[in-house]
Amino acid sequence: MLCIILSLLLDVPEVPSNVTVTDIKQTSLIVQWIAGYNGGQNQTFHIVITTSDTRRSVDVPDPGNRNIGTYTLEDLMPSTMY
């Protein structure tokens, strides 16, 4: 009888670095970041957009270790604090 044990070592994922906001317009902007090591598992980045009376969120797939993640936030309200 043959018994095979597969052991997968996972680690804690690193936080993204160099988070920046660029290309700010009246109703949109771009968020960029550098993804860190994912700890050996698939991950997504959770972006939350809030105002004083609304909240919405979006999940963005991991662009891969040390790659640049990008997401364009659209349908923003002019003259609104986010």
Name the average pLDDT for the chain.
90
pLDDT tens, residue by residue, 17-40: 999 999 999 999 999 999 999 888
Lowest mean pLDDT among 9-13, 25-29, 42-46, 64-68: 9-13
Closest CA to 57 of 82, 22, 24: 82
Q: For residue 1, what are the contacts with CB-CB under 8 A and spacing of at least 6?
A: none
Question: Quick check: 78 and 52 in contact, CB under 8 A?
Answer: no
In single-letter form, the type of residue at position 55 comes to R
Q: How far apart are CA 69 and CA 43, in angstroms?
A: 12
Question: Quick check: 40 and 69 in contact, CB under 8 A?
Answer: no
> What's this model's pTM, rounded to 2 decimal places?
0.78
Q: How far apart are CA 61 and CA 15, in angstroms?
A: 14
**Domain layout of the chain by residue ranges:** 17-73
